Every structure is written in C-alpha cells, then in structure tokens.
Amino acid sequence: MQGSLKAYLDHNATTTIRPSVIEAMNCALMTGGNSSSVHSSGRDARQMIEEARENVASLVGSETSKVIFTSGGTESNNLAIRGVKGRKVITSAIEHVSVLSSASDILSIPVDKNGVVIVELVEKALRNNFDSSLVSVMLANNETGVIQPVKEIAKIAHEYGAIVHCDAVQALGKVECNIMELEVDLLSISGHKIGGPQGVGALVSRGDVGLTSINKGGGQEQGLRGGTENFPGIVGFGAAALVAKNDLSRFSQYAILRDELESKVQRVEPVQIFGVSADRLPNTTCFTMPGVSSETQVMSFDLSGFAISAGAACSSGKVEVSHVLTAMGVSRSDAEMAIRVSLGWDTEEYHVNDFFNTWMSLFEFVGETNLKQNAVTG
C-alpha cells in the first residue's frame, strides 16, 4: 500500500497490477521492436505477443487464432456490436455503457429485482426479430456482481438464428469464463480487471460471425483492429492471464470475506444489499449506508485511506445515480446511498475488518444523525 492508503477495495474498477506482470512488461519494454517488422527485434516482439495470445486463449478456452487484441473492454464491446452489420441489437438494461451506447437502435430487456435478466423477455424480443438479431448480455454486472444466465440465453438465441455477444470483462478471473461452455459467439475481456495493465483487452470469437473492422489501419490483428499493437500491454495481459487461470479456484474464497462484511452491515437498519439473493461474483458487494449519500461515503472513506466506489468507474469521476440500480427498481433515494466494495488478489481479512470499523464510525457520526433529523422533519 502506498501513502495513506489502508485498503484498496475497488478491484472491480481496476485491480492492482501483479508483480509478475510488471516483470513481463519490463522485459517487453527492454526488447523493443515493432511486431510487424521482419528483423530480429520485430520477430522477438511478435513471438512475445503470440505467447500472450496463447495465455489469454487458454484462460477463456478458445483457439489462439480467435483472440483479437484491443485497447480494452470498451473497444471490444464496440467491435462486437458495431462490427456485426445489419442486426437488431437486443441487450439488457444493466449493461455497461459501452454496450448501451454502441448502437442507435437498441432494444433493452428489463431485469428482475435482483438484477437478473428476464429470459422470457429476451425470447419474446427474438421472436419479433427472427434471424436478424445480435444479443449482448454481460456475464457478471460490474456494480452488483450479479451473474447472468448467459448460457441459457445463448441457447435460446441460437434457436432464433441470433449472434450472441457476452461482455465478460468483470467476470474474467473471478469465475469460469469459458467461451465454449458459455456457447456465445463473441466474448469481450480486459487486462486491468485481472492484475494486468490498463489499455489492453481482447475480443474472442468462437466461430466466423462475419465480423468487420471498425478501426482501419495496417491490417494488424487479422485485419480486425488496425494500428500498431500495444506490445508491452499485450505481454502484460498475457502474464496476468496466466496467473488468473492458476488463481481461479482461490478467488472463490473471497466470498467468505464478502459475506462476513455483509452480515456485519446488515445489523444496521435499514441497510440494503443489492442482488443478495442472486448468484454473484465472490468479491463484490453493493449496499447502502442509511442516511449518508454515496458521494459523502466515497470522499470520507478516501480521507480515511479506503478506496471504494459508488458504482461504475466510467463516468469521468462523477458520482451519479446508477442505471443498474434504477433498472432493478431501486428508488432514487436508496440508490443515492449505495456504494460498491470489491475485493481482489491482495485483499486481506484485516482490510475488510478495518473498513467495516470505519464504515460503522461514519454511520454513527453522520448516518444516525441524518436519520433522526429526517424522522423529526418527516
């Protein structure tokens, strides 16, 4: 931990970089060379990129040739949706903004109170757009951690001749993300969610979906992503993928720490934990502090040395009401009190305990006072 930081609990925004990743990237930076060049430096760079591609492919159970490196999850989502032409996009109301804003005419499917996509409504939408749809559903929500019935949706969608894309950015390295088992056609992933560097991701395909490039250039990445590859970033992504695959079973243990934290905060009334009745990522919890706004909580915890968030970290630093919680039917007043705590590979039990003690102190100092005042004025 650096400076006054006591605990970094915002791993869903970006996880802390792995030491082995730094070492691999340093090696790449020392190697230099453009991977498109035919001289020895270029060939060395190409070999390291292809080794990284193998590691990433192994993590998601794909063929190596089906991994196309991008600048991250947002570009991968855009390539998947904008790169498949002439299809009606059917997605869920809780998708990442990079999916929701990737096309002008998107059909948004509601979720239930736990934040799970309503499968029956997906099928209804498919019936109305037979043989001309692209279904895009995330594997796990970045704010609540709720896991979606992707495989079930994929089976139904394929019966209607649809192409299926899955944003697995948040799920990667936390739960199994095998493209063959999920039966999706396209899978978006990103390096900085698994201990790799920011600015690198991949779009993985299971077969030929007629994907076309949205970023024209020199024909890199099989002509689907023009521009000189991010050599050190890709190498770092590959190194992170290798560690993530080996650590996948260990990651499930974070559910124990998460559940202990939730059992403690639930002693305070009326705390709400969102998506608690659904299957979730083992490291993620999203809950309210009664009487205290999300913005106040984020700033107070930061001053106390804890990094948490009020939801997705993709709004230029703004704390806004979550579209995910809104889609789940959460009231605006409750959504404005929600924070997300997400654990990662360097989280220890004492980090979570220290966080709760600070959380409790903030509630007793601010929350209880505000609740009493509201009770008097209400």
Q: pLDDT by residue (tens digit) across 305-353?
A: 999 999 655 554 556 789 999 999 999 999 999 999 999 999 999 999 9
Contacts of 226 (CB under 8 A, 6+ apart): 213, 215, 216, 217, 218, 219, 220
Buried b (16+ CB within 10 A) or exposed e, 168-206: bbbbbbbbebebeebbbbbbbbbbbbbbbbebbbbbbbb
1 has pLDDT over 50: no
H or E stretch at 201 = strand 201-205
CA–CA separation, 195 vs 156, rounded Å? 34
Domains annotated on the chain, with CATH: 7-15+250-377 (3.90.1150.10), 19-248 (3.40.640.10)
CA–CA separation, 148 vs 141, rounded Å? 8
Confidence of residue 373 (pLDDT cuts 50, 70, 90): confident
CA–CA separation, 233 vs 192, rounded Å? 10
Using CA atoms, how far residue 298 sits from 36, 270, 339, in Å, is 45, 20, 8
CA–CA separation, 375 vs 333, rounded Å? 15
Positions marked active-site = 314
* Partner residues linked to 202 by β-bridges: 69, 189
pTM: predicted TM-score of the whole model, two decimal places:
0.95
CA–CA separation, 122 vs 277, rounded Å? 21
2 has pLDDT over 50: no
What value does the CA radius of gyration of the chain take, rounded to a whole number of Å? 21
179 has pLDDT over 60: yes
